């Protein structure tokens, strides 16, 4: 059995890391705690960014379901899930302040009290996006698999590694010698032939994780009409806005719809919630989430929010859709803008490709 699995520190472009480090190790910080302590905290921060959070936050669709009943069903689903992995089930608890929020506490994380996991001989290499999802509890879906040995077939036990630098060639048949990080073991659902030697695009679960290094829950397909996976600060935003029933509300940067659907739920699906985003595909995701949660007061449009307010009467004349943008000043009771950011605080991360702009 191997000992504690340690994830590497998140990496940045060298010039980006230099800028971030200089900002963190500023004169004021050094004068207060000293240069050595500042450097230790900086390295601890980079390491922490590689690890998934110890808590998973879920918002309950309280418009159609009670929190207590949902909590009970979620606990049962997680009990079954963790029993298969022979791990203690994750704990589901109420958030102490938010009446529509549940917290799942992970059983263990790398470097804490996790059950040791030994790599096996057969390896599967996955891309970074897939690797991050695995750290958050997901199984491996076919599009995320980069490489597997020629003799890998359904039922095999394999060790899963994430390609750190994006250097693994898709379909590689030899052992990958580049930088990689061990994520745990799993059972093969789709063999190499189904993944790479086929005329059809492979879909579905390729490897079902049975011994992940992190005990984060897998929530794919779990109570999808009852729960919305959402970061705690995003849930807090909805309660801060606290729109009244029957309000007209604008979400200026809405995709994928977490805060949009929360606002509509708080309004008891009465009134109008306008969701804007530049991307048509992202707007489709907002509409899908609204439909999944049984919300009808959301109207989503692909539109540049910076041009959503207009005094031009010609632009304000809508032939078909009275809710379509643009809008005259004073149209809305509440406006929510969660503008795009660097995503620097998202966890886990392995290699951050953040660029500097002039």
pLDDT digits (tens, 9 = 90+) for 186-224: 999 999 999 998 778 889 999 999 998 888 898 989 999
Q: How does residue 312 score in pLDDT terms, banded at 50, 70 and 90?
A: confident
CATH code for the domain of 326: 3.40.50.150
Mean pLDDT of 267-294: 97
200/248 same-domain check: no
- 41 CB neighbour count, 10 Å cutoff: 14
Judge whether 331 lies within some domain. Answer: yes
Query: Which residues neighbour 40 within 8 Å (Cβ) at sequence distance 6 or greater?
Result: none
Query: Which residues neighbour 165 within 8 Å (Cβ) at sequence distance 6 or greater?
Result: 178, 179, 351
142/202 same-domain check: yes
201/259 same-domain check: no
Judge whether 22 lies within some domain. Answer: yes
Instruction: State how beta strands 227-229 and 180-188 pair.
Output: unpaired
Tell me: is residue 215 an annotated ligand-binding position. no
What does the mean pLDDT of the chain come to? 91
- pLDDT tens for each residue of 130-183: 999 999 989 999 999 999 999 999 999 999 999 998 999 999 999 999 999 999
Rg of the chain over all Cα atoms, to the nearest angstrom? 23
Of 317, 319, 318, 282, the closest CA to residue 300 belongs to 282
204/288 same-domain check: no
Query: Which residues neighbour 354 within 8 Å (Cβ) at sequence distance 6 or greater?
Result: 12, 13, 16, 342, 344
Tell me: is residue 155 an annotated ligand-binding position. no
CATH code for the domain of 161: 2.30.130.10
| Local structure of residue 159 (DSSP, 8 states) | E
Judge whether 171 lies within some domain. Answer: yes
| Local structure of residue 154 (DSSP, 8 states) | T
Tokens of 287: 């509409």
244/190 same-domain check: no
pLDDT at 317: 66
248/331 same-domain check: yes
List phi, psi (to 5°) of 25. Answer: -90, 60
pLDDT at 39: 95
Tell me: is residue 253 an annotated ligand-binding position. yes
Tell me: is residue 257 an annotated ligand-binding position. yes
Q: Looking at the chain, how many residues does it have?
A: 358
Tell me: is residue 304 an annotated ligand-binding position. yes
127/187 same-domain check: yes
**pTM, 2 dp:** 0.86
Judge whether 180 lies within some domain. Answer: yes
Judge whether 261 lies within some domain. Answer: yes
Tell me: is residue 34 an annotated ligand-binding position. no
Q: How does residue 2 score in pLDDT terms, banded at 50, 70 and 90?
A: very low
255/208 same-domain check: no
Judge whether 90 lies within some domain. Answer: no
Of 181, 173, 174, the closest CA to residue 127 belongs to 181
User: Cβ distance 125 to 168 under 8 Å?
Assistant: yes
Q: Which domain holds residue 35?
A: 14-48
Structural domain total, the chain: 3
Mean pLDDT of 33-42: 95
Mean pLDDT of 55-61: 97
Tell me: is residue 255 an annotated ligand-binding position. yes
Judge whether 65 lies within some domain. Answer: no
Of 320, 281, 10, 58, the closest CA to residue 165 belongs to 10
Tell me: is residue 333 an annotated ligand-binding position. no
Judge whether 93 lies within some domain. Answer: no
Tell me: is residue 107 an annotated ligand-binding position. no
Tell me: is residue 258 an annotated ligand-binding position. yes
């Amino acid at each position: 059995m191997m000992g504690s699995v340690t994830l590497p520190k998140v990496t940045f472009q060298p010039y980006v890391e230099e800028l971030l480090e200089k900002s963190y190790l500023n004169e004021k910080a050094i004068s207060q705690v000293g240069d050595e302590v500042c450097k230790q905290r900086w390295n601890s921060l980079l390491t922490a960014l590689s690890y998934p959070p110890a808590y998973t936050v879920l918002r309950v669709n309280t418009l159609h379901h009670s929190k207590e009943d949902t909590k009970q069903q979620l606990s049962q689903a997680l009990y079954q899930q963790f029993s298969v992995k022979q791990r203690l089930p994750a704990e589901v608890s109420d958030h102490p302040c938010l009446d529509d929020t549940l917290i799942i506490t992970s059983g263990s994380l790398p470097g804490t009290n996790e059950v040791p996991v030994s790599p096996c001989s057969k390896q599967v290499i996955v891309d970074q996006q897939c690797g991050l999802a695995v750290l958050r509890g997901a199984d491996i879906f076919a599009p995320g698999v980069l490489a597997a040995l020629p003799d890998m077939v359904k039922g095999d036990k394999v060790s899963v590694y994430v390609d750190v630098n994006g250097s693994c060639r898709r379909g590689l048949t030899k052992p990958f010698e580049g930088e990689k990080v061990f994520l745990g073991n799993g059972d093969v659902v789709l063999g190499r032939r189904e993944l790479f030697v086929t005329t059809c695009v492979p879909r579905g679960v390729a490897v079902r994780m049975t011994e992940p290094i992190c005990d984060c829950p897998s929530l794919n397909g779990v109570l999808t009409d009852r729960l919305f996976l959402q970061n705690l600060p995003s849930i807090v935003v909805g309660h801060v806005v606290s729109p009244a029933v029957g309000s007209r509300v604008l979400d200026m940067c809405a995709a994928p719809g977490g805060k949009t659907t929360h606002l509509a739920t708080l309004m008891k699906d009465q009134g109008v919630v306008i969701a804007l985003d530049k991307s048509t595909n992202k707007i489709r995701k907002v509409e899908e989430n609204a439909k999944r949660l049984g919300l009808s007061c959301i109207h989503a449009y692909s539109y540049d929010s910076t041009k959503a307010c207009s005094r031009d009467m010609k632009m304000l004349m809508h032939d078909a859709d009275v809710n379509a943008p643009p809008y005259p000043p004073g149209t809305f009771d509440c406006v929510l803008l969660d503008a795009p950011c660097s995503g620097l605080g998202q966890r886990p991360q392995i290699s951050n490709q953040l660029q500097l702009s002039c």
